[in-house]
């Protein structure tokens, strides 16, 4: 029986890919860098920001990485008006799962500042017992943030689920011994997630709750 549901954020709970693409592109232009392709930006969604920047621009010096981080934070949090909305059914399902006694957590590549802001904006903050962000621990796919969540909740790996839309989420779960739920509607094509043998694939957020209710889990 699963007790703890650990959610990735971008691409799993909230449809933020277009805003991430826009903010990365604008940040690159601010610094006179060649903007990455849309596919390249989709590929780094889920990583911590420094790791994402270095994946897009290998060999970039630390000063330039910090400048890129600053510009991205400015655009994503303040200047960019590209919509980033919860996926259909996400809020109702999260509230229902919590009411049914499931413990909820977040493991995200977002910064603490970014996650706290979106949790406040969406009104979902009170639903999550514990949250971990890439700038306060180790970036995915390292399992460190899952280890911290499991330690903080006292839940064993086999009683938790890692729900995410990228191969970084799935690899992190495998390395932590936490079963994965693969989201097909996010940043990475489902074919990239299947090699990690998730226990479930979902095409819409509410399907997770239906599966848990069915007792198949």
For 172-196, write each residue's pLDDT tens digit: 999 999 999 999 999 999 999 999 9
- Look at residue 217 in the predicted model and tell me its pLDDT: 53
Using pLDDT thresholds of 50, 70 and 90, give the confidence band for residue 68: very high
Percentage of the chain exceeding pLDDT 90: 91
Average the pLDDT over 198-203 and give the result: 98
Using pLDDT thresholds of 50, 70 and 90, give the confidence band for residue 216: low
In the chain, what are the domains? 4-15+85-214 (3.40.50.1000), 17-79 (1.10.150.240)
Q: Which two tokens stand for residue 137?
A: 């621990």
- Look at residue 11 in the predicted model and tell me its pLDDT: 95
- Look at residue 77 in the predicted model and tell me its pLDDT: 82
Using pLDDT thresholds of 50, 70 and 90, give the confidence band for residue 154: very high
| pLDDT surpassing 90 at residue 160 | yes
Please, what is the average pLDDT of the chain? 95
For 4-33, write each residue's pLDDT tens digit: 999 999 999 999 999 999 999 999 999 999
- For β-strands 160-164 and 180-183, DSSP reports them as parallel
What are the angstrom distances between the C-alpha of 10 and each of 101, 149, 169, 205?
A: 24, 18, 11, 13
Using pLDDT thresholds of 50, 70 and 90, give the confidence band for residue 215: confident
């Amino acid at each position: 029986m699963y007790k703890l549901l650990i959610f990735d954020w971008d691409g799993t709970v909230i449809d933020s890919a277009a805003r991430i693409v826009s903010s990365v592109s604008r940040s690159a232009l601010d610094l006179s860098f060649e903007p990455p392709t849309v596919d390249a930006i989709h590929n780094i969604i889920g990583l911590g920001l420094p790791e994402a920047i270095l994946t897009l621009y290998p060999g970039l010096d630390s000063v330039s990485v910090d400048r890129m981080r600053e510009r991205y934070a400015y655009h994503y949090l303040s200047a960019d008006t590209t919509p980033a909305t919860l996926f259909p059914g996400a809020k109702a399902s999260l509230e229902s799962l919590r009411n049914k006694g499931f413990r909820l957590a977040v493991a995200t590549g977002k910064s603490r500042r970014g996650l706290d802001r979106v949790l406040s904006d969406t009104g979902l903050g009170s639903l999550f017992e514990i949250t971990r962000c890439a700038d306060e621990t180790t970036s995915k796919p390292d399992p460190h943030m899952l280890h911290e969540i499991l330690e903080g909740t006292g839940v064993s790996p086999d009683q938790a689920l890692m729900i995410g839309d990228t191969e970084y989420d799935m690899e992190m779960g495998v390395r932590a011994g936490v079963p994965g739920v693969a989201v097909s509607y996010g940043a990475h094509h489902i074919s990239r997630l299947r090699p990690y043998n998730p226990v479930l694939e979902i095409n819409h957020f509410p399907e997770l709750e239906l599966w848990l209710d069915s007792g198949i889990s």
